[in-house]
Structure 1
Amino acid sequence: MTERHPPQDCADMATLRQQIDQLDRELIARLAERASYIDRAIELKTENGWPARIPARVEEVVMNARTTAEATGLDPDLIETIWRQLVDWSIAREARVIREE
């Protein structure tokens, strides 16, 4: 893992890009971890006869992401767009296994 530097301590573009690339790797690792929880959700939904898409939960997840974005100073509309795509991907993955497609 590369040593983390705050943005203001990056003296040149090479260092800045290195930091961004490291953050990207960490984000991808966290998304892979999230996907493993989706795999478990598939098992539980299958056992309980639940559908892949549960609209109230979708909205809860998206609103949680918006709230977190607002609290950290990120654009909540951007985060909502990203999260809806992430949730849609997750539901499609669940549906393939649950055979709802």
Structure 2
Amino acid sequence: MTENRVKPADCTTMAEVRHGVDRLDEEIAARLAERFRYMEAAARIKPDRDAVRDERRKAEVIAKVKATAAREGGPAARIALLYDALVESSIAYEFERFDERSG
């Protein structure tokens, strides 16, 4: 999926930038779909609805992502904000799947 992608520092045209972003978006969407499949598994495995929201786990996930972003030279605070929204959406999705299973 990453063939012919110019590294950001080597881009000289907006076409190269857009191509790189588009390729990354494809990869990110595929990984997000996989992440949500794990939420389906969590909804199947967790014994009760109260177990779906785990604030300690949410904080742990965001802290790990923030550290990774900082290590990779990214804007860690902004990436943490994105992950907060992702985790909240994941929790909502897990509730939906749990309720379908239980209801």
TM class by shorter chain equals: 0.7 to 0.9
2: CA distance between counterparts of 1:7 and 1:75? 15
**Residue in structure 1 matched with residue 41 of structure 2 by the alignment:** 40
2: CA distance between counterparts of 1:12 and 1:77? 28
1: CA distance between counterparts of 2:35 and 2:7? 26
* Number of residue pairs aligned between Structure 1 and Structure 2: 98
Percent identity (aligned): 36
Mapping 1:54-93, distance limit 5 Å: 54-93=54-93
2: CA distance between counterparts of 1:36 and 1:11? 38
2: CA distance between counterparts of 1:73 and 1:40? 32
**What displacement does 1:26 show?**
0.9
Unpaired runs of 5+ in structure 1?
A: none
TM-score for the superposition, normalised by structure 1: 0.84
**Residue in structure 1 matched with residue 10 of structure 2 by the alignment:** 9
> How well do the aligned residues superpose, as a CA RMSD in angstroms?
1.8
